Chains A and B, each alone.
Chain A
Amino acid sequence: MRGTSMAILDTGPIWELVLYSAVKQLGFANLEGDLTYFVRPEVYQNCGDFLSTFAGKTTSASVVVELYGRIQRTQPKKGHPDLWELVYEEFRRMSMDEDIVKLLDMELDLVAKFGPTDVSLLEIARRNMTQAPVILTVDREFHARCKKEEVSSELRIEVCNPIY
Protein backbone atom coordinates (compact mmCIF):
# COMPACT_ATOMS: atom_id res chain seq x y z
CA MET A 1 0.00 0.00 0.00
CA ARG A 2 1.01 3.61 -0.51
CA GLY A 3 2.46 5.01 2.65
CA THR A 4 5.48 3.64 4.36
CA SER A 5 6.15 -0.01 3.51
CA MET A 6 9.29 -0.93 1.59
CA ALA A 7 10.16 -4.13 -0.25
CA ILE A 8 13.83 -5.06 -0.47
CA LEU A 9 14.32 -7.56 -3.29
CA ASP A 10 16.89 -10.32 -3.30
CA THR A 11 18.31 -11.66 -6.58
CA GLY A 12 15.90 -14.61 -6.91
CA PRO A 13 12.60 -12.74 -7.25
CA ILE A 14 14.09 -10.20 -9.70
CA TRP A 15 15.60 -12.97 -11.82
CA GLU A 16 12.27 -14.82 -11.92
CA LEU A 17 10.45 -11.63 -12.99
CA VAL A 18 13.01 -11.09 -15.75
CA LEU A 19 12.83 -14.72 -16.90
CA TYR A 20 9.03 -14.66 -16.91
CA SER A 21 9.00 -11.57 -19.14
CA ALA A 22 11.59 -13.17 -21.42
CA VAL A 23 9.72 -16.47 -21.73
CA LYS A 24 6.04 -15.58 -21.54
CA GLN A 25 5.95 -12.09 -22.97
CA LEU A 26 8.77 -12.16 -25.50
CA GLY A 27 8.82 -15.85 -26.39
CA PHE A 28 12.39 -16.77 -25.45
CA ALA A 29 11.39 -20.42 -25.16
CA ASN A 30 14.92 -21.63 -24.46
CA LEU A 31 14.85 -19.96 -21.05
CA GLU A 32 11.67 -21.74 -19.99
CA GLY A 33 13.61 -24.47 -18.19
CA ASP A 34 15.19 -21.83 -15.98
CA LEU A 35 11.88 -20.60 -14.63
CA THR A 36 11.85 -22.17 -11.20
CA TYR A 37 8.87 -20.57 -9.50
CA PHE A 38 6.80 -18.68 -12.07
CA VAL A 39 5.84 -21.79 -13.98
CA ARG A 40 2.17 -20.84 -13.90
CA PRO A 41 0.78 -17.37 -14.66
CA GLU A 42 -1.10 -17.36 -11.32
CA VAL A 43 2.18 -17.54 -9.39
CA TYR A 44 3.54 -14.58 -11.36
CA GLN A 45 0.32 -12.66 -10.77
CA ASN A 46 0.31 -13.48 -7.06
CA CYS A 47 3.86 -12.24 -6.73
CA GLY A 48 2.92 -9.10 -8.70
CA ASP A 49 -0.07 -8.55 -6.39
CA PHE A 50 2.17 -8.96 -3.38
CA LEU A 51 4.82 -6.57 -4.73
CA SER A 52 2.20 -3.99 -5.63
CA THR A 53 1.29 -3.62 -1.96
CA PHE A 54 4.62 -1.93 -1.22
CA ALA A 55 5.07 1.80 -1.62
CA GLY A 56 8.76 1.48 -2.41
CA LYS A 57 10.97 -1.20 -3.90
CA THR A 58 14.68 -1.29 -3.55
CA THR A 59 17.61 -3.64 -3.86
CA SER A 60 21.33 -3.73 -3.29
CA ALA A 61 24.14 -3.13 -5.76
CA SER A 62 25.38 -6.61 -4.77
CA VAL A 63 22.15 -8.05 -6.18
CA VAL A 64 22.91 -6.37 -9.51
CA VAL A 65 26.29 -8.11 -9.46
CA GLU A 66 24.54 -11.43 -8.82
CA LEU A 67 22.17 -10.72 -11.74
CA TYR A 68 25.27 -10.19 -13.86
CA GLY A 69 26.47 -13.64 -12.79
CA ARG A 70 23.14 -15.22 -13.76
CA ILE A 71 23.13 -13.52 -17.14
CA GLN A 72 26.74 -14.55 -17.76
CA ARG A 73 25.77 -18.19 -17.30
CA THR A 74 23.25 -18.02 -20.16
CA GLN A 75 24.18 -18.91 -23.71
CA PRO A 76 24.60 -17.62 -26.34
CA LYS A 77 26.43 -14.50 -25.26
CA LYS A 78 24.74 -12.45 -27.95
CA GLY A 79 21.53 -12.80 -25.92
CA HIS A 80 23.04 -11.00 -22.92
CA PRO A 81 22.11 -7.47 -24.06
CA ASP A 82 18.46 -8.61 -24.38
CA LEU A 83 18.49 -9.92 -20.83
CA TRP A 84 20.09 -6.72 -19.56
CA GLU A 85 17.45 -4.75 -21.44
CA LEU A 86 14.83 -6.74 -19.52
CA VAL A 87 16.58 -6.14 -16.20
CA TYR A 88 16.71 -2.40 -16.92
CA GLU A 89 13.07 -2.46 -17.93
CA GLU A 90 11.98 -4.25 -14.75
CA PHE A 91 13.92 -1.75 -12.64
CA ARG A 92 12.50 1.20 -14.58
CA ARG A 93 8.90 -0.02 -14.64
CA MET A 94 8.91 -1.07 -10.98
CA SER A 95 10.53 2.24 -9.94
CA MET A 96 13.21 0.16 -8.27
CA ASP A 97 15.70 2.02 -6.13
CA GLU A 98 19.19 0.72 -5.45
CA ASP A 99 21.49 1.08 -2.46
CA ILE A 100 25.19 0.54 -2.01
CA VAL A 101 26.40 -1.06 1.20
CA LYS A 102 30.12 -0.94 1.78
CA LEU A 103 31.85 -4.04 3.09
CA LEU A 104 33.22 -2.10 6.05
CA ASP A 105 29.68 -1.08 6.98
CA MET A 106 28.68 -4.74 7.35
CA GLU A 107 29.37 -6.87 10.38
CA LEU A 108 32.13 -9.35 9.68
CA ASP A 109 30.50 -12.28 11.42
CA LEU A 110 27.26 -11.75 9.49
CA VAL A 111 29.18 -11.54 6.19
CA ALA A 112 31.00 -14.73 7.08
CA LYS A 113 27.68 -16.41 7.88
CA PHE A 114 25.37 -15.11 5.14
CA GLY A 115 27.64 -13.66 2.46
CA PRO A 116 27.87 -9.99 1.45
CA THR A 117 24.73 -9.85 -0.71
CA ASP A 118 22.34 -11.11 1.94
CA VAL A 119 23.96 -8.95 4.60
CA SER A 120 23.70 -5.91 2.33
CA LEU A 121 19.93 -6.54 2.13
CA LEU A 122 19.75 -6.77 5.92
CA GLU A 123 21.77 -3.56 6.22
CA ILE A 124 19.44 -1.74 3.79
CA ALA A 125 16.52 -2.93 5.89
CA ARG A 126 18.24 -1.68 9.04
CA ARG A 127 18.77 1.74 7.42
CA ASN A 128 15.10 2.02 6.51
CA MET A 129 13.42 0.84 9.66
CA THR A 130 10.90 3.69 9.56
CA GLN A 131 9.53 2.28 6.29
CA ALA A 132 8.61 -1.13 7.68
CA PRO A 133 11.06 -2.97 5.40
CA VAL A 134 10.36 -6.47 4.18
CA ILE A 135 13.08 -8.51 2.50
CA LEU A 136 11.77 -10.62 -0.36
CA THR A 137 13.79 -13.69 -1.13
CA VAL A 138 13.20 -17.07 -2.71
CA ASP A 139 16.36 -18.37 -1.11
CA ARG A 140 14.98 -20.82 1.42
CA GLU A 141 18.34 -21.12 3.14
CA PHE A 142 18.64 -17.37 3.62
CA HIS A 143 15.05 -17.28 4.81
CA ALA A 144 15.58 -20.18 7.20
CA ARG A 145 18.91 -18.87 8.45
CA CYS A 146 17.36 -15.47 9.17
CA LYS A 147 14.62 -17.15 11.15
CA LYS A 148 17.06 -19.43 12.92
CA GLU A 149 19.41 -16.62 13.82
CA GLU A 150 16.38 -14.55 14.80
CA VAL A 151 17.61 -11.82 12.51
CA SER A 152 14.08 -10.74 11.79
CA SER A 153 12.98 -10.44 15.41
CA GLU A 154 16.26 -8.95 16.53
CA LEU A 155 16.16 -6.27 13.87
CA ARG A 156 12.38 -6.22 13.52
CA ILE A 157 12.85 -6.92 9.82
CA GLU A 158 10.39 -9.20 8.16
CA VAL A 159 11.88 -11.68 5.74
CA CYS A 160 9.45 -13.40 3.47
CA ASN A 161 9.23 -15.45 0.36
CA PRO A 162 6.88 -13.78 -2.12
CA ILE A 163 6.26 -16.98 -3.99
CA TYR A 164 4.43 -18.91 -1.29
Chain B
Amino acid sequence: MTFDIKPGRGSERVKAWVYAILNPVIEALRRETEMLRSGNLSWRLRSRRCEYIRPISVLIDWDQHPNLEDFIAEHPTFSGRFSQHDSALAGVEQAATEYVQGLLRARSFQEQVGKCLADYEARLPFNPAYPDLLNRRDKIPEEIAEFLANNSRSLPRHYAMYSFWKEYAGTFQEDFGGFTETAHDNVKVKTQELLGISGQLSVDLEALRLMLVREYDIPAAPIEPPRANFPENNSSTRW
Protein backbone atom coordinates (compact mmCIF):
# COMPACT_ATOMS: atom_id res chain seq x y z
CA MET B 1 0.00 0.00 0.00
CA THR B 2 1.23 3.45 -0.83
CA PHE B 3 -0.30 5.71 1.82
CA ASP B 4 1.85 7.40 4.42
CA ILE B 5 -0.60 7.44 7.30
CA LYS B 6 -1.31 3.80 8.04
CA PRO B 7 -4.93 3.05 9.01
CA GLY B 8 -5.30 1.69 12.51
CA ARG B 9 -6.52 -1.71 13.66
CA GLY B 10 -10.20 -2.19 12.82
CA SER B 11 -10.05 0.74 10.39
CA GLU B 12 -13.44 1.77 8.98
CA ARG B 13 -11.69 2.83 5.80
CA VAL B 14 -10.24 -0.63 5.23
CA LYS B 15 -13.59 -2.19 6.10
CA ALA B 16 -15.14 -0.06 3.35
CA TRP B 17 -12.64 -1.46 0.83
CA VAL B 18 -13.30 -5.03 1.90
CA TYR B 19 -17.09 -4.85 2.23
CA ALA B 20 -18.02 -2.45 -0.53
CA ILE B 21 -15.35 -3.21 -3.12
CA LEU B 22 -13.52 -6.51 -2.65
CA ASN B 23 -16.42 -8.70 -1.53
CA PRO B 24 -18.85 -7.91 -4.37
CA VAL B 25 -16.09 -8.00 -6.98
CA ILE B 26 -14.67 -11.33 -5.74
CA GLU B 27 -18.12 -12.88 -5.63
CA ALA B 28 -18.93 -11.67 -9.15
CA LEU B 29 -15.58 -12.85 -10.52
CA ARG B 30 -16.08 -16.33 -9.04
CA ARG B 31 -19.49 -16.50 -10.71
CA GLU B 32 -18.05 -15.14 -13.93
CA THR B 33 -15.22 -17.67 -14.12
CA GLU B 34 -17.67 -20.55 -13.52
CA MET B 35 -19.86 -19.33 -16.37
CA LEU B 36 -16.93 -18.74 -18.71
CA ARG B 37 -15.54 -22.21 -18.00
CA SER B 38 -18.80 -23.72 -19.24
CA GLY B 39 -18.82 -21.38 -22.25
CA ASN B 40 -21.96 -19.60 -21.02
CA LEU B 41 -21.37 -15.97 -21.89
CA SER B 42 -24.95 -14.95 -21.02
CA TRP B 43 -24.74 -12.91 -24.21
CA ARG B 44 -28.06 -11.59 -25.48
CA LEU B 45 -28.84 -10.38 -28.98
CA ARG B 46 -31.33 -7.84 -27.61
CA SER B 47 -28.69 -5.98 -25.59
CA ARG B 48 -25.59 -7.31 -27.40
CA ARG B 49 -23.87 -7.72 -24.09
CA CYS B 50 -23.16 -10.41 -21.52
CA GLU B 51 -26.06 -9.95 -19.12
CA TYR B 52 -24.45 -11.56 -16.07
CA ILE B 53 -20.82 -10.67 -16.68
CA ARG B 54 -20.33 -7.01 -16.03
CA PRO B 55 -17.63 -4.33 -16.02
CA ILE B 56 -16.05 -4.02 -12.56
CA SER B 57 -17.44 -0.58 -11.73
CA VAL B 58 -21.00 -1.84 -12.37
CA LEU B 59 -20.52 -4.47 -9.66
CA ILE B 60 -20.15 -1.79 -7.03
CA ASP B 61 -23.05 0.17 -5.60
CA TRP B 62 -23.14 3.69 -6.97
CA ASP B 63 -23.00 5.25 -3.50
CA GLN B 64 -19.83 3.24 -2.82
CA HIS B 65 -17.91 4.69 -5.76
CA PRO B 66 -16.02 7.15 -3.53
CA ASN B 67 -14.72 4.08 -1.66
CA LEU B 68 -13.76 2.54 -5.02
CA GLU B 69 -11.82 5.69 -5.88
CA ASP B 70 -10.18 5.62 -2.45
CA PHE B 71 -9.28 1.94 -2.88
CA ILE B 72 -7.80 2.62 -6.33
CA ALA B 73 -5.85 5.60 -4.98
CA GLU B 74 -4.13 3.31 -2.47
CA HIS B 75 -3.91 0.27 -4.77
CA PRO B 76 -3.25 1.85 -8.15
CA THR B 77 -2.25 -1.40 -9.86
CA PHE B 78 -5.87 -2.55 -9.67
CA SER B 79 -7.02 0.41 -11.74
CA GLY B 80 -5.20 -1.03 -14.74
CA ARG B 81 -6.31 -4.57 -13.96
CA PHE B 82 -9.96 -3.56 -13.68
CA SER B 83 -9.65 -1.77 -17.04
CA GLN B 84 -7.97 -4.83 -18.50
CA HIS B 85 -10.92 -6.96 -17.35
CA ASP B 86 -13.44 -4.53 -18.79
CA SER B 87 -11.68 -4.33 -22.17
CA ALA B 88 -11.45 -8.13 -22.31
CA LEU B 89 -15.18 -8.29 -21.57
CA ALA B 90 -15.89 -5.74 -24.30
CA GLY B 91 -13.78 -7.92 -26.60
CA VAL B 92 -15.92 -10.99 -25.81
CA GLU B 93 -19.12 -9.02 -26.38
CA GLN B 94 -17.84 -7.68 -29.69
CA ALA B 95 -16.69 -11.13 -30.82
CA ALA B 96 -20.04 -12.70 -29.87
CA THR B 97 -21.92 -9.92 -31.69
CA GLU B 98 -19.86 -10.44 -34.86
CA TYR B 99 -20.28 -14.22 -34.65
CA VAL B 100 -24.06 -14.01 -34.25
CA GLN B 101 -24.45 -11.33 -36.92
CA GLY B 102 -22.43 -13.48 -39.32
CA LEU B 103 -24.53 -16.50 -38.43
CA LEU B 104 -27.83 -14.69 -39.01
CA ARG B 105 -26.64 -13.35 -42.37
CA ALA B 106 -25.38 -16.72 -43.61
CA ARG B 107 -27.61 -18.40 -46.17
CA SER B 108 -26.44 -21.84 -45.02
CA PHE B 109 -27.60 -21.05 -41.46
CA GLN B 110 -30.99 -19.81 -42.63
CA GLU B 111 -31.39 -22.93 -44.75
CA GLN B 112 -30.46 -25.16 -41.84
CA VAL B 113 -32.97 -23.42 -39.57
CA GLY B 114 -35.67 -23.80 -42.24
CA LYS B 115 -34.82 -27.47 -42.73
CA CYS B 116 -34.94 -28.24 -39.00
CA LEU B 117 -38.20 -26.33 -38.54
CA ALA B 118 -39.80 -28.18 -41.44
CA ASP B 119 -38.63 -31.49 -39.98
CA TYR B 120 -39.88 -30.48 -36.51
CA GLU B 121 -43.28 -29.50 -37.87
CA ALA B 122 -43.55 -32.74 -39.82
CA ARG B 123 -42.97 -34.62 -36.55
CA LEU B 124 -45.63 -32.69 -34.61
CA PRO B 125 -48.50 -35.09 -35.34
CA PHE B 126 -46.45 -37.99 -33.98
CA ASN B 127 -45.06 -36.15 -30.95
CA PRO B 128 -47.92 -34.61 -29.01
CA ALA B 129 -45.52 -33.37 -26.34
CA TYR B 130 -43.75 -31.10 -28.85
CA PRO B 131 -45.08 -27.54 -28.58
CA ASP B 132 -46.15 -25.74 -31.72
CA LEU B 133 -43.55 -23.06 -32.44
CA LEU B 134 -45.64 -21.23 -35.01
CA ASN B 135 -46.05 -18.06 -32.94
CA ARG B 136 -42.29 -17.67 -32.41
CA ARG B 137 -41.11 -18.84 -35.83
CA ASP B 138 -39.60 -15.46 -36.78
CA LYS B 139 -37.48 -15.35 -33.63
CA ILE B 140 -36.13 -18.89 -33.87
CA PRO B 141 -32.96 -18.08 -35.89
CA GLU B 142 -32.05 -15.47 -33.28
CA GLU B 143 -32.76 -17.86 -30.42
CA ILE B 144 -30.60 -20.56 -32.02
CA ALA B 145 -27.80 -18.06 -32.61
CA GLU B 146 -27.94 -17.09 -28.93
CA PHE B 147 -27.86 -20.75 -27.85
CA LEU B 148 -24.77 -21.29 -30.01
CA ALA B 149 -23.01 -18.15 -28.77
CA ASN B 150 -23.70 -19.23 -25.17
CA ASN B 151 -22.85 -22.88 -25.69
CA SER B 152 -26.32 -23.94 -24.48
CA ARG B 153 -26.29 -27.70 -24.83
CA SER B 154 -29.71 -28.26 -23.31
CA LEU B 155 -32.63 -26.16 -22.11
CA PRO B 156 -34.96 -26.48 -19.12
CA ARG B 157 -37.86 -28.74 -19.92
CA HIS B 158 -40.53 -26.06 -19.52
CA TYR B 159 -39.05 -23.79 -22.20
CA ALA B 160 -40.93 -23.66 -25.49
CA MET B 161 -37.75 -24.46 -27.45
CA TYR B 162 -36.81 -27.48 -25.28
CA SER B 163 -37.92 -30.22 -27.69
CA PHE B 164 -36.62 -28.41 -30.76
CA TRP B 165 -33.20 -27.85 -29.21
CA LYS B 166 -33.04 -31.38 -27.84
CA GLU B 167 -33.65 -32.67 -31.34
CA TYR B 168 -31.39 -30.34 -33.35
CA ALA B 169 -28.78 -28.90 -30.99
CA GLY B 170 -26.26 -31.49 -32.17
CA THR B 171 -26.81 -30.61 -35.82
CA PHE B 172 -26.31 -26.90 -35.18
CA GLN B 173 -23.37 -27.38 -32.88
CA GLU B 174 -21.61 -29.60 -35.42
CA ASP B 175 -22.32 -27.40 -38.40
CA PHE B 176 -22.34 -23.96 -36.90
CA GLY B 177 -20.31 -24.18 -33.73
CA GLY B 178 -17.47 -23.88 -36.18
CA PHE B 179 -19.35 -21.71 -38.65
CA THR B 180 -17.26 -18.89 -40.06
CA GLU B 181 -14.50 -20.50 -38.11
CA THR B 182 -12.62 -17.29 -37.64
CA ALA B 183 -15.60 -15.63 -35.93
CA HIS B 184 -16.30 -18.62 -33.72
CA ASP B 185 -12.62 -19.12 -32.89
CA ASN B 186 -12.43 -15.44 -32.04
CA VAL B 187 -15.23 -15.86 -29.47
CA LYS B 188 -13.35 -18.79 -27.95
CA VAL B 189 -10.04 -16.92 -27.89
CA LYS B 190 -11.59 -13.82 -26.33
CA THR B 191 -13.45 -15.95 -23.79
CA GLN B 192 -10.24 -17.69 -22.75
CA GLU B 193 -8.51 -14.33 -22.49
CA LEU B 194 -11.24 -12.98 -20.21
CA LEU B 195 -11.25 -16.20 -18.20
CA GLY B 196 -7.51 -15.88 -17.58
CA ILE B 197 -7.79 -12.25 -16.54
CA SER B 198 -10.84 -12.81 -14.30
CA GLY B 199 -9.37 -15.92 -12.67
CA GLN B 200 -6.10 -14.19 -11.79
CA LEU B 201 -7.85 -11.00 -10.68
CA SER B 202 -10.08 -13.03 -8.38
CA VAL B 203 -7.09 -14.85 -6.86
CA ASP B 204 -5.19 -11.58 -6.30
CA LEU B 205 -8.17 -9.78 -4.80
CA GLU B 206 -8.80 -12.72 -2.45
CA ALA B 207 -5.15 -12.60 -1.38
CA LEU B 208 -5.41 -8.86 -0.79
CA ARG B 209 -8.59 -9.32 1.25
CA LEU B 210 -6.91 -11.95 3.42
CA MET B 211 -3.95 -9.68 3.94
CA LEU B 212 -6.17 -6.72 4.89
CA VAL B 213 -8.37 -8.66 7.32
CA ARG B 214 -5.30 -10.07 9.03
CA GLU B 215 -3.37 -6.84 9.15
CA TYR B 216 -6.28 -4.70 10.32
CA ASP B 217 -7.99 -7.41 12.34
CA ILE B 218 -11.37 -6.98 10.74
CA PRO B 219 -13.93 -9.63 9.81
CA ALA B 220 -14.06 -10.50 6.10
CA ALA B 221 -17.76 -9.64 6.05
CA PRO B 222 -19.72 -7.29 8.28
CA ILE B 223 -21.11 -8.85 11.43
CA GLU B 224 -24.75 -7.87 11.55
CA PRO B 225 -25.82 -6.10 14.75
CA PRO B 226 -28.70 -7.77 16.62
CA ARG B 227 -31.80 -7.24 14.52
CA ALA B 228 -34.28 -4.64 15.63
CA ASN B 229 -37.75 -6.09 15.76
CA PHE B 230 -38.91 -4.57 12.47
CA PRO B 231 -40.73 -7.13 10.39
CA GLU B 232 -39.81 -5.38 7.13
CA ASN B 233 -36.12 -5.87 7.92
CA ASN B 234 -36.61 -9.55 8.52
CA SER B 235 -38.15 -10.09 5.12
CA SER B 236 -35.17 -8.68 3.27
CA THR B 237 -33.11 -11.15 1.28
CA ARG B 238 -29.44 -10.53 0.83
CA TRP B 239 -27.79 -11.73 -2.36
Contacts and interface: CB of A to CB of B under 8 A. Distances in A.
A51 B130 contact: no
Contacts of A51: 157-158
Most chain B beta-carbon neighbours within 10 Å: one of A29, A47, A52: A52
Interface in A1-59: 1-3, 17, 21-22, 25-31, 33-34, 44-45, 47-49, 51-53, 55, 57
Contact of A3 (B30, B128, B236): B128
A154 B34 CA distance: 51
Interface residues of A, number: 37
Contacts of A107: none
A68 B167 CA distance: 36
A73 B239 CA distance: 10
B155 interface: yes
A93 B157 contact: no
Interface stretch (A75-83, A113-121, A123-131, A144-152): A75-83
A153 interface: no
Nearest to B127: A2
Contacts of A49: 157
Contacts of A79: 239
Interface string B70-106: 0000000000000000000000000000000000000
Contact of A26 (B35, B128, B159, B160): B35
Given A27-B31, A74-B239, A2 B130 contact: yes
Interface stretch (B8-16, B131-139, B175-183, B197-205): B131-139
B35 A2 contact: no
Contact of A2 (B131, B136, B159, B161): B131
Interface string B3-31: 00000000000000000000000010011
Given A48-B156, A74-B238, A75-B236, A55 B161 contact: no
B228 interface: no
Contacts of A26: 31, 35, 42, 52
B168 interface: no
B239 A52 contact: no
Nearest to B235: A73
Given A2-B124, A2-B129, A27-B31, A75 B237 contact: yes
B238 A52 contact: no
A94 interface: yes
A25 B135 CA distance: 27
A27 B157 contact: no
Nearest to B32: A27
The 8 closest A-B pairs by CB, nearest first: A48-B157, A30-B239, A51-B158, A27-B31, A48-B158, A95-B160, A93-B159, A74-B237
Interface of B: 27, 30-31, 34-35, 40, 42, 51-52, 61-62, 124, 128-132, 135-136, 155-162, 235-239
17 contacts: A1-B128, A2-B124, A2-B129, A26-B31, A26-B52, A27-B31, A29-B27, A30-B27, A33-B237, A34-B237, A48-B158, A52-B157, A52-B158, A55-B131, A73-B235, A85-B51, A94-B158
